[in-house]
Amino acid sequence: MAAMNERDETGSAPAVAGGDDANRPKANGWVWLAPLCFALSPLISLYAANIGEVTPRDLLRPAAALLGGTLVLGLILSALLRNGPKAAVTLSSGLFLFFSYGLFLSMERDVLDLFSFFSPDVRSKNVNLFILPIWAALFLTLMVLCIRTRRDFKPAASILVVVGCALVSVPAATIVRHGANLRGGAAGGGIGGRAETPGTADNKAVDPVAPGGATGGGPDIYYIVLDAYGRQDTLREFYGYDNEPFLRELEKRGFYIARRGRANYCQTALCLASSLNMGYLDEVARRAGKTYRDLSEATARIDNNAVAAFLRARGYKFVYITTGTPLTHAGSADLILGERARKPGLNVFERLLSDTTPLAAVPRAEVSLYDEHRAYIQGAFEHLSGVPRLPYPKFVFAHILAPHAPFVLGARGEPLTPDRPFSLADASDFMRRSTRDEYRRGYIDQLRYVNTRVLRAIDDIYARSARRPIIIVQGDHGSRMLLDWQDVRKTNLREAFANLNAYSLPDHDAARFLYQDISPVNSFRLLLNRYFGADYKALPDRSYYSTLYRPYDFIDVTGEASARR
């Protein structure tokens, strides 16, 4: 290079890469933007992809660890190489490869899926054993090349600064838009305080603090949501399983079964935001727009919901049994049970981030998540059995992530640990890494366990309650084995929306005002009318499909979802 052949007025060669002057902070401090951006971009991108499902607080520990670790490694490399740009490029390259391990792992799984056509048992192989040596060799080769090269690293550092800033700015823009949507919603009177009560012409709400009905002396209310619990006819048709014995046991205990009931939405946050606020989410959709995987508007309505507000005004306490996921977390509840199921160490977001790195090769990081998930499911049923002893009127909301995947419990409650990284994926996302036969077997076994625990919890609630309570046992949506997250045309809408819907009432007269094809949006409207003197009008029972990536872009599928065989 011409610059390397030039000499100053004294005849000495100027300092170049490898010299002390090249490491001067004032001259080269800007190059450290590159490794800092490469360290933070995976964190910010993961948060943007899961926005609304995790809290900003989940970013604090990993952000501090990444920034601190990057600065320490930068100081060490700078001292060893005595060249700021060279150290920054080397560190940036290493960080890029470190957080690209998950991409290599995904590619390897795709290759194994291809070979599984010829050898089915290849699916059971630990793909880390294949990809880790390849990744390690590539990592070491790149580091050696960076360290041994004598070229001027300033141009490369400049390019990496631009690339790093772009990697951070794209997901950051998504987060900023998300925050603007929330502020707009709060300004419009929707999210931020107590959730709105429905108020359109055909969706008339009563004032939750209006007089009428019981005040502090009504029956306890249990809203038990079993995630992805399908309806009897679809379980028989698509899973070959007869769930009638369980339904007969519910009927023996006084339950009314809505045997043609169906869900209003096909995503949990949307389903519960609708049922707990007794209305459809058209206004929420207008505010949120076609945001990318942003369910924060819906989750806020679950936390601060109209049913809890109505009952609080009548002397009730809101009791929430946690599921371990922020998606349905009701932090505003008067009492939260089940948080101790979380084990010390990394939280779910931190573990997802670690799965994009070679730390995914550590088996215990995967097993502990399955153990924690299993503990949440089992703990929720234990808390349901104990809640009746609380000495005050209560509205109990328990969203239990079963029989939804992952399948961590056998039919008799035996622990199961899938041989893949932890994921809550179901439907078409589950099928990317498995088969319908595995889904069918795992789902039915976990459902059989859930049936046993539900009946035991109901018996305990009855036995320990001073007066007969209201109990709703409901699937938020259908079993979703045949749902496609990207295309409504590839979805079996009957299976996706057909949900369990069962009601136990103090006076056993559910058949007088409930009906066979009731959907969750009307559950509390009719119950609050009957037992608390409210004046809600029943809404049309409708069903809406939306993709995982555009949750508020609703498609009305009522006709297809309600079609009879």
Q: Looking at the domain assignment, is residue 54 inside a domain?
A: yes
Task: Assign 3-class secondary structure to 471-502.
Answer: EEEEECCCCCCCCCCCCHHHCCHHHHHEECEE
Co-location of 371 and 494 in the same domain: yes
Q: Looking at the domain assignment, is residue 471 inside a domain?
A: yes
**Residue 128's pLDDT is what?**
57
**pLDDT (average), residues 513-522:** 95
Q: Which helix (H) or strand (E) holds 545?
A: strand 544-545
Q: Looking at the domain assignment, is residue 356 inside a domain?
A: no
* pLDDT of 276 over the 90 cut: yes
Co-location of 384 and 437 in the same domain: yes
Q: Looking at the domain assignment, is residue 184 inside a domain?
A: no
Q: Looking at the domain assignment, is residue 415 inside a domain?
A: no
Answer with the one of 115, 141, 174 that is the final residue of a domain.
174
Co-location of 230 and 312 in the same domain: yes
Over residues 476-510, the pLDDT tens digits come to 999 999 999 999 999 999 999 999 999 999 987 78
Alpha-carbon gap, residue 275 to 288, rounded angstroms: 19
Co-location of 169 and 245 in the same domain: no
Burial 270-300 (b: 16+ CB within 10 A, else e): bbbbbbbbbbbbebbbebbeebebbbbbbbb
Q: Looking at the domain assignment, is residue 274 inside a domain?
A: yes
Co-location of 401 and 533 in the same domain: yes
Lowest mean pLDDT among 105-114, 326-335, 355-364, 490-499: 105-114
What sign has the CA pseudo-torsion 401, 407, 408, 409? positive
Co-location of 96 and 225 in the same domain: no
Q: Which residue has the higher pLDDT, 316 or 77?
A: 316
Co-location of 164 and 224 in the same domain: no
Q: What is the CATH number of the domain that holds 277?
A: 3.40.720.10
Number of folded domains in the chain? 2
Tell me the one-letter amino acid at 154: K
**pLDDT (average), residues 411-437:** 89
* pLDDT of 473 over the 70 cut: yes
Burial of 488 (0-12, 13-18, 19+ CB in 10 A): middle
Answer with the one of 174, 206, 227 that is the final residue of a domain.
174
Lowest mean pLDDT among 277-281, 355-359, 489-493: 355-359
Q: Looking at the domain assignment, is residue 311 inside a domain?
A: yes
Q: Looking at the domain assignment, is residue 36 inside a domain?
A: yes
What sign has the CA pseudo-torsion 285, 472, 405, 377? positive
Answer with the one of 158, 174, 190 that is the final residue of a domain.
174
Over residues 158-214, the pLDDT tens digits come to 999 999 999 999 888 877 876 665 555 443 333 223 333 333 333 433 333 333 334
**Residue 542's pLDDT is what?**
97
**Residue 244's pLDDT is what?**
98
Co-location of 144 and 272 in the same domain: no
The DSSP code for 127 is T
Co-location of 164 and 101 in the same domain: yes
* pLDDT of 32 over the 50 cut: yes
Co-location of 392 and 315 in the same domain: yes
Over residues 360-408, the pLDDT tens digits come to 666 554 457 888 899 999 999 999 999 999 999 999 999 999 999 999 9
Tell me the one-letter amino acid at 560: E
Alpha-carbon gap, residue 241 to 232, rounded angstroms: 8
Co-location of 311 and 454 in the same domain: yes
Question: Which residue segment(s) compose the domain that 275 sits in?
Answer: 218-341+362-408+428-562
Co-location of 304 and 393 in the same domain: yes
SS3 337: strand
